[in-house]
Amino acid sequence: MKLSALNPAGPERRPQLTRERVMAAAIELADREGIESISMRRLAQELGVEAMSLYTHVRSKNDLLDGMADAVISQVPVSAEGAGWKASLRQLSLAARGVMLRHPWAPRIVEAQATPGPAALQYVNGVLGILREGGFSITQTHHALHILGSRLLGFTQALFDDSGDLEPEAAAALASALGASHPYVVEMALAVTHGGALGRCDDDAEFEFALDFLLDGLARMQSG
């Protein structure tokens, strides 16, 4: 059937598929339904197209995921000029964290990327520039990269996720089940829970604290 005959140059023709449109739809779908719901068929359906049509704009599913990762990274503003290396890195890292919080699936695929895409390269170049212009030697800059690690991209792999807020009964159950064998875990879990000594674990504040801890250490490393 000839659509164009029915709708000759009609304005309701769906727009051309492009790599950008594919990436945007994939990111939107991942935001809405989770990264696990990304499949070629599902994504194609989202675009009103058949699965194989995507392969005109994307080499493979891995290429799609790489593209998504790079597109997310490109959302982090890399500017932040003229504020000193410490403030610049701080702002950059927090901005990246904001982006990652909007795309919770992103860290996983960003770190799965084999080779950095254009946006990642641009980003790394920006970070390196801030440090070098800030007076860090090449060796110091190299160390700083390893020290800051993924925090520069706004995320951290914690040893375990302690941001959950236990119900009192769950806390009691945990205490009696693990209390004998894992006293320190129980102590920390209770402290982090709302009833405990600390407030509820505020991930944002904790991220910021750790970031400042690292930046202060780097400042000491540079001057010492």
Partner DNA sequence: GGACTAATGCGTACGCCGTAAAGATAAGGT
Partner DNA sequence: ACCTTATCTTTACGGCGTACGCATTAGTCC
Q: Which residue in 40, 80, 178, 190 binds DNA (CB under 7 A)?
A: 40
145 interface partner picked from a copy of itself, DNA, none, CB below 5 to 8 A per type: a copy of itself
Cα torsion 79, 81, 83, 85 to 10°: value is: 70
Q: Which residue in 20, 62, 137, 204 binds DNA (CB under 7 A)?
A: 62
Q: How far is residue 160 CA from its own chain's centroid?
A: 17
35 interface partner picked from DNA, a copy of itself, none, CB below 5 to 8 A per type: none
Measured from the CB atom, the residue of 22 and 97 that comes closer to a copy of itself is: 97
Q: What are the structure tokens assigned to 1, written together?
A: 């059937």
Q: Count of residues binding DNA (CB under 7 A)?
A: 25
CB of 7 to DNA, least distance (A): 9
Tell me if residue 142 falls in helix, strand or coil.
helix
46 interface partner picked from DNA, a copy of itself, none, CB below 5 to 8 A per type: none
Q: Is 38 in the site for DNA (CB under 7 A)?
A: yes
CA distances from 58 to 68, 96, 173, 211, 212 (A): 11, 26, 50, 37, 40
Tell me if residue 81 falls in helix, strand or coil.
coil
Q: Is 53 in the site for DNA (CB under 7 A)?
A: yes
Q: Which residue in 11, 16, 160, 180 binds DNA (CB under 7 A)?
A: 16
Alpha helices in the chain (DSSP H): 3-6, 19-33, 40-46, 61-73, 85-102, 106-112, 118-133, 138-148, 168-178, 183-192, 203-223
Angle at 194 between CA 190 and CA 198, to 5 degrees: 70
Q: Is 42 in the site for DNA (CB under 7 A)?
A: yes
135 interface partner picked from a copy of itself, DNA, none, CB below 5 to 8 A per type: none
Q: Is 51 in the site for DNA (CB under 7 A)?
A: yes
Residues that bind DNA (CB under 7 A): 1-5, 13, 16-17, 38-42, 44, 49-53, 55-57, 60-62
